Structures are given as C-alpha cells and as structure tokens.
Structure 1
Amino acid sequence: MLLLLKGCRVFDGVCDDVADNQSIYIEDGIIREVGERVAASAAATVIDVGGRFVMPGLIDAHFHAYGVEVNPALIDRIPPVVLGIRAKAILEATLARGFTTVRDAAGADYALASALKTGLIHGPRLFYAGMALSQTGGHGDLRSPDHHDICACAYCGALSMVVDGVDEVRRAVREQLRRGAHQIKLFVSGGVLSPSDPIWMNQFADDEIRVAVAEAATRRCYVMAHAHTNEAAIRCVINGVRSVEHATMLEADGVAAIVAAGAYAVPTLAIIDAIQDMGPKLGLSQVMADKTREVAGHALTSLDRLRGAGANIGFGTDLLGSLMDRQTREFSLRREVCSPLEILRQATSVNAALLQMAGKLGTIAPDAFADLLVIEGDPLADIAVLGDTSSIRLILQDGRIRKNTLDA
C-alpha cells in the first residue's frame, strides 16, 4: 500500500523540536521519505492531516498480554483457548490507545505472535519473553505457602515457571529461545502480587543470572529482570542484565551502576497507582496491599534519581486485568518528575533502542516501520492529551490504517 501523509507537524521521537508542514511517504509499510517536499508515487493514497501533531506509535516495554486477571495466580486456572480469546481483546484495546508495539514480560508466546502476524488479531507488534523464570519461592512461584506438591519443583503456570540451579536455568532459557522468545525474563527481587516473598528478598544466585545472560547472548538477545530493590538492581547489572524492571527503590549507587553499565531502567508507575487507588475492590490480600505501599513510597524518588543521572529510562505499565484501561495514565504519573518531551522519548525512541530496534521503531525517519499516530492537540504542551483515545485521530501500523477519524 502506498500512502502520503501531508500537512504533518512531526515529532520524530528523537529531536527536541517539531517540524511543521511535513509530508511522509510510505511504501510497503516502510517510511521512505520525510520532508517538506517528497517524491511520492501518483498511485499513493493521500491523507491530509491538517497540521496536526504526528508522532511515532507508542511502545509499552512492560506489558502482559495474558494478564487477564489482577491476581496472576487466577490466570493459571483459565483454559488456554479462553486465555487466548481474552488476550485478543486486551491487545486490540491496547492498539486503540496508540500502542503499536509492546514487550511482553511473562507468558506471551509464539501462538499469540503468530495470530498477530497473520491478522487474526489486530494488535500491537509483540516482543515476548515466553515463560518468565523464577526460583522456588520467588516472585514467579505463585503457589500459596500452604500449597504442597509431591515434587516441590513442579510449578509451571500460565505466566512463569520455577527453575533452580545453573543447569535448570540454562535449559529453561534455551527452551524459551527455541520457542522464539525475543528476550528472557528473570525475577531477581521479591514482588507485590506474589504470595510468599517479601520485597527485600534477593532471588537467583549470581551464577544463575550470569548463565541466563550468557545463553541469551547466543541468540543476540538479552535479559530483562524484575528488580524492585537497590541491591537487586546492582546485582542485575553487574551480572549483565540489560533491562531492570520496576527499579522502584533505587539509591544513588544503584542508579550509578545502571548508568555505568549502559543498562535500561523501566519504571512502572501505573500498576502501583492502580492498586493503591482500587484497594480492596481488587480482592487482593493484605500482604499484597502492604507490599504495594512499601514500593509506592519510593517510586517517584527513584525515577527522579534515574533522570538526574542521565540513565536510559524506558516506558512500561505492568497492568493486569481490569486495570489495563489505565495504560495511558503512566504519562500523567511520570509528569511529576519528567518533562513531556522526556516522556515521549521514553515511550518511543528510548524503548525502541531497548528492544534493539533503534531506527526501525519509535521514530519517523526513512527506513523505519510506518507506525504513526496523528494527534488532536499537542502532547509536548500537555502530555495528558494521550490519555484521551478520541484525541488519536489516525493510527497506522506497518503502513496499515487501523483507525481514521480525520473526516469525522
């Protein structure tokens, strides 16, 4: 399909300034030319966006396509076919919010990616980790403390599986990579929505982390690691982890370690805010509520420290179940610390670099995928504009029109 967008006010995902009166020529899903005058085929469909704000499609770097319940332990009880149908609804709603790419942090698989690629689901481009890996009693071990198996090492749920020791980690990583995983996910600290691990708990030994990193490197991919605490973040980056998820309770030395390693931190404020806001309505345990309060008191301070140190800050939300519709609230929450320009970069070009897709995603430039949004209003003046899906007048993904209300 040949498309020519004209009358664009372009934010390219990188530069400080926007460029007015631009045209964008798209051929076979790829941006071929951007400028005031472009050489477009006479056969191209022309769309005049009327001077509106045009930006790259958004990227959510901490997403859960199969996260259909707020309490992840409940997801294990859902039949796979039903889980897939519910994931379809989640992905289609996510695309409608302007997220043309997501990086899944636990559970998404080849089947879901194939359904997206073949058009059975019209949703975001999917980078998946397969099953997230947890040690016994770690954040991904969703058995309650009173759950007794004949074999204590047998847990494998819908989102995560238990592995212990270097050999088990190695085998599990290789298996996820065989199944097409784009990155590997480890749990390296305690977490909120798990039944038996305190936030401060260190998880996986250093040699277990290192072997996961080494095996991922054989496929030229990387490890993303759940890590709330400062100690966990330091352990991650000194052992080669590329992406520190949540990064909620960082001190100066943890931030410095992330910066020195050239690693990425992906704060997820939206899930913390949602759990605090919804409280008892979610049916979560008192232990989970207490752990949420513990991390909430540090999250903005950690983000401010990362920003001040010049760290690579990605954009993620980590939402689950009925909370998914709060995805764009992450923009407003970050506004407490970051400028609109910084937030837009985090959700576009920075996340693209994190996904090892710099120049292909998160930017409006020649040779990039034609994932574009046309916005009514100016997110650089008011980032909250992105919280209203009606302000997204046009969504292009791979050059295909997924939404167009410009004539409305």
Structure 2
Amino acid sequence: MTGNLLLRNARLLDPLSGEYTEGDLRCADGRIAEVGPDLAAADVPTLDLRGAVVLPGLVDAHVHVTASTADLGSLPSSSPSYVAAHSARTMSRMLDRGFTTVRDASGADYGLADAQAEGLFRGPRLLFCGRALSQTGGHGDSRTRGTQVKDDHPCCAGLGRVADGVDAVRAAARDELRKGAHHIKVMASGGVASPTDRIDSTQYSAEELRAIVEEAEAANRYVAAHAYTARAVNRALELGVRSIEHGNLLDDRSVSLFLAHDAFLVPTLVTYWALKEEGREHGLPESSWRKVDEVLGAGLAALDRAARAGVKIVYGTDLLGGMHRHQNHEFRLRAEVQTPLEVIRSATSTAAELLNLTGEIGTLAPGAHADLLVLDGDPLADIGVLAEPKHFRHVVQGGEVVVG
C-alpha cells in the first residue's frame, strides 16, 4: 500500500492518552506523514470529515482465517485451494469490519500473508504462526478415538501439527520459524473444538514447553499459548510464554504472573457466545458444543479480574466458519467490565505492543502505517459505534480508502 491522502477537519483519537485532537492528517506513501492544523498537500485525494472521529485501524490478535467451518477436524480433508479461496473472502470481510491487521492463531501460512501483501486479494495485514504445536490427544490433534493414522502433511489444510518429546517439538518449532512464523502457537491445555481431550487438562510437559519457548526466543519471536485453567495458564507463564489465549479460568496467581513476566492476555469472549448460539449450525460437533458452558460464564469474570489488576489485555475473537461475522461484537461484550477506552486500547496500542509493532500500527503518530478508521460517532461515549460497522464511514489501509 502506497497511498497518498489528506483527511481534513477530523477528531483524531490517541488511544494512549484517550484524548481527541482536532485537525488534519496527511498520508504519504502509505504512511502517516504529519498531523496538525491546516495541512497542505497539492494533487492529493482529500476528504473533508466535518468533525468525524478518526482512530487507528483495528487489530484482532486471535483469528483463524482458514477456519471455513467450526468442524475443525474436517479441514485436513478439504482442498487447499478451496480453503485459500474461503480465507481470502473471510479476510476481505474482516477489512470491511475495520480490522487492518490480524494475528492468525493457527492455520494461515506465508502464502496467504504474501498474497495479501502483494495485493492479490483485499484484507488485513496478516501475521501468521503456521500450525499450532500439539501433543498427541491435545487440542490441536483433530483425530477421533477411532482414527489411528496421523495425517498432518503440510500440503493439507489444518490448524495443528502433532509433536511429542523435546526433540520433536524443537524440530516442529524450527520448521514453523523456517517458514516465516511471526510467533509460535502451542496448545497448553484442553479445548472446546478438540474431540478427545478435557478442558481442564494441562498439555505438554514443562520440558517440552521450555524447549518451544527457547526456540522462539532464539529466533527473536515469542510463544502464544492456548490455555484455559489457572493450572495451565500459570505453567505457561512460568515457562516464558508471552501471550495467553483465552485464560477463562485464571486465578489471582495468574494475575501476579502476568504482571511479573510482562505477559499479555488475549480473551476471546465472542467465540463462546457465538458457539453457544449457533455453533452447531456451522459444523461444531455436539460433543464440542456441550463443552462451551465450561468456559462461557467464566470469561467475563476472568477479564474483569485481569483488567482491574492492570494486566495487558489484547483484543481477540477466535471465531470459526460463518460466525466470523460477529467479530465486532467482542467490543460490546468487553464493555460490560471495561471502559470504552480500555477496550479500544486492546484493539490498537496494546495489540501493537504484543505484535512487536509499536509505532507501526495502533497509533496515529507520524511514521506509522496509514491504517485508519473513520467513524460517524464517538466510541468513547458509546462503544457500540465500534460494535456495529454501519457506523464506519471509511476504512483506510496504507493511505488508500478501501471501504466507504
């Protein structure tokens, strides 16, 4: 993206300070060039916003763009080309919902990231991890009890790869890093969509988790861990995991460990809401649907506990299949226990920090990517403005208007 654009008469929201500044914003070569009053730019497309609110493009730090169905076990039997076409459409619709950067939490690869970056399809910037690492019978092992043969060939679609033992997990982590992974995803507890594990289980030994963290750190990357229970969350944090995905059943010790290790929590409340409401319609097996209640009620309480203590919290949704359309509803759910500004930061400045892109995204400061969202309402007064894309006047990506 190398767009040039001038936005006039805007109310510019700084997520860090929570304050508005009235003025203009100029984009040049896909970056924010300057912010201030009465900016001049000859022969540049200009939008007079007449006081509309501008904030940085949104970040969703937990997506599965290749999850064309909630029946994750069926993905390996899908054609890779079919899954890629589905993923392109899913990402295009994410951009329509104001998300200009997403972090994939398993499934997407360098091919999708490169295709988006080259403009082969429209969609948010994609940070990928490849496949999540799972122990045999873990959350990333999609085999049912009667399936004996492990088939996670890299040419096939799928979210996880099974690796057991320190040497095997090192090799698996190195392989994902070889293919350009921005982070490594590991399954550190049971989950809803997996067929043979329990949500309250811990997964991988301390030695295996430590080895994965060592490999990520050696490559100047980090590990994100799927974990629900306090036992699983605390083990992962003690062993150097940087971000905990979900964390619905965390406890006070978890909060202390987040703060001590400067780690991040990525709750995904909307996926449980959506799975309970319509998961079975979109392919979620009955056995997985019955697991949802174990984590649904605890999610808000965990978010409240972490937010009150000052844990760094990042926006994530974890939606699958036809439920991706609920992506913005996470804003409304979080607002039940957080202020609008706190929720906005989770999808902008704090997300940028987790992704190691501070100064590049999640800010309106000069030098950042010119990824912007123009709203017809005040999200600090009503977070519903972000929960409903009908309030989005424009979405700007790389200095070019891509919506509106």
Partner of 1:122: 122
Task: Tell me which of 15, 19, 43 is aligned to 2:21.
Answer: 19
Partner of 1:28: 29
Deviation of the 1:10 alpha carbon: 0.8
| Residues 28 and 143 of structure 1, relative CA distance in 2, 3 Å threshold | same
| Alpha-carbon distance in structure 2 between the residues aligned to 1:289 and 1:68 | 17
Q: 3-state DSSP class of the match of 2:161?
A: strand
Q: 3-state DSSP class of the match of 1:47?
A: strand
Partner of 2:375: 375
| Alpha-carbon distance in structure 2 between the residues aligned to 1:17 and 1:102 | 25
Q: Do 1:244 and 1:266's aligned partners in 2 also have CA atoms closer than 8 Å?
A: yes
Q: Do 2:71 and 2:285's aligned partners in 1 also have CA atoms closer than 8 Å?
A: no
Task: Tell me which of 10, 13, 18 is aligned to 2:12.
Answer: 10
Letter in 1 for 2:129: A
Q: 3-state DSSP class of the match of 1:114?
A: helix
Q: Do 2:8 and 2:49's aligned partners in 1 also have CA atoms closer than 8 Å?
A: yes
Q: Do 1:68 and 1:83's aligned partners in 2 also have CA atoms closer than 8 Å?
A: yes
Moved more, 43-52 or 272-281: 272-281
CA offsets, 1:295-351, max 9 Å, x none? 112111100110111000000000000100000010111011111111001011110
Structure 1 residue ranges without an equivalent (≥5): none
Q: 3-state DSSP class of the match of 2:374?
A: strand
| Alpha-carbon distance in structure 2 between the residues aligned to 1:111 and 1:373 | 27
Q: 3-state DSSP class of the match of 2:33?
A: strand
Deviation of the 1:17 alpha carbon: 1.5
Letter in 2 for 1:386: L
TM-score (norm 1): 0.95
| Alpha-carbon distance in structure 1 between the residues aligned to 2:332 and 2:388 | 12
Structure 2 residue ranges without an equivalent (≥5): none
Q: 3-state DSSP class of the match of 2:138?
A: coil
TM-score (norm 2): 0.96
Q: Do 2:62 and 2:102's aligned partners in 1 also have CA atoms closer than 8 Å?
A: yes
| Alpha-carbon distance in structure 1 between the residues aligned to 2:380 and 2:41 | 32
| Residues 279 and 361 of structure 1, relative CA distance in 2, 3 Å threshold | closer
CA offsets, 1:270-313, max 9 Å, x none? 10001111254345334312321011121111001101110000
Partner of 1:217: 217
| Residues 64 and 312 of structure 1, relative CA distance in 2, 3 Å threshold | same
**4+ residue segments displaced more than 4 Å:** 153-157
Q: Do 2:5 and 2:400's aligned partners in 1 also have CA atoms closer than 8 Å?
A: no
Q: 3-state DSSP class of the match of 1:291?
A: coil
| Alpha-carbon distance in structure 2 between the residues aligned to 1:301 and 1:232 | 17
Deviation of the 1:387 alpha carbon: 2.6
Is 1:355 the counterpart of 2:363? The answer is no
| Residues 136 and 155 of structure 1, relative CA distance in 2, 3 Å threshold | farther
Alignment of 1:130-209 (within 5 A): 130-149=130-149, 155-156=152-153, 158-209=158-209
Alignment of 1:165-314 (within 5 A): 165-278=165-278, 280-314=280-314
Is 1:111 the counterpart of 2:111? The answer is yes
Deviation of the 1:19 alpha carbon: 1.5
Q: Do 2:131 and 2:176's aligned partners in 1 also have CA atoms closer than 8 Å?
A: yes
Letter in 2 for 1:74: S
Q: 3-state DSSP class of the match of 2:198?
A: coil
Q: 3-state DSSP class of the match of 1:6?
A: strand
CA offsets, 1:87-108, max 9 Å, x none? 1110000000000000000110
% identical aligned pairs: 43
Deviation of the 1:50 alpha carbon: 1.1
Deviation of the 1:155 alpha carbon: 4.3
